Structure 1
C-alpha cells in the first residue's frame, strides 16, 4: 500500500470544481482538488435488482485514494470538466461494474463537507438509480468484491457507525433507505 498521504496521491487528471452552492466554477487537477479540499462533483449509481428488493454493494480497493477498503453501494466517481452528472454516472457505472444500456433515474443530491483521514474533502454528490439483472464485472483496480444484499441487510450494516462505509454515500442514503 502507498504510504503517501491520500490527498497527495491525486493525479493531474482534470476534474470539475464547484462552489459550496453546487455551481460549477471551473476545473483543477485532482491532486489540487484533494490537497486544497476544493469542492468538486461526484456522480454515482445505486444498482437495484429489477424487483427493487436487492442493492448491489461493493468493497472498494485498498489502493483507492479516497475511502480505501470501505464498502459502498454507489458505483461512481468524480465529474470531468464539461461533463453532466448523469453522463459521469453512466460512465462510472460502465467502468466500475461493466453495466451499460440501463435507464438512469435521478435519486438524490447531497453536498458533503467532510473529512477523510483528517483532511477536508468536499463534494457535491449526484446519485441515480438503475435496475439490472445481468452480469456485473468489476474494475479490479477500484472494486475488490461485490454482492447483492436485501434492503434489510444493507440497513442493518448501515446502522453500525463502525462499519467501514463511504461516508458521503452514508449521508446521501440517510432517508432513502428507511423502511
Structure 2
C-alpha cells in the first residue's frame, strides 16, 4: 500500500480486515473469484453460485456498514472505486479485482440453510443463512438475500454487519 496517504492506507487496511472476516458474499466476494471448492455440501451451492454471478457482473454498487464503518464500492468494467468512511471516491489500483479474488479464495462456507423469501428494493429474493471461516480469523455467520430470477446477491447481514448491492443504473463516480 505504498504511495497512498496515511489516511487512505488506514482505510485500505480496515477494508482488508473486512475482506478476511466477511462472508464470500460480502464486499469481497462482491468483487471476484469463483469459490467452487469452498462449499462442503450441496446446500451452499446457491450461495456459491450467487458469488460467481456477482463476480462476473461488470457493473454493481455495493454499500456496506461493519462495526459502524461505512464503505461503498462501485465496479464499472474493470474499474473499482471506493468511498470508505465518507472520505470521497478513490479509484483503486489496477488489478484490485484479481488481488481481492486471491483473498476470497481462502474462504470456506458451510452450514447453509434456506430461511424464506423477501423482497429487496422490489426484487424477489430467497434468504439463506451460512457460516464462513477464513484461516486465522473468527468464524462469521450471516444471511444473504439472493435474487430469484438472476441468482445475484442483493443484501447481506451478520452480527454488526449490513450491506446491499445494486446492479442497474451504476455509473463511475468522480474520483480522486
Q: TM-score, normalised by structure 2?
A: 0.28
Hey, which of these two has a bigger chunk of helix by percent? 2
Q: TM-score, normalised by structure 1?
A: 0.28
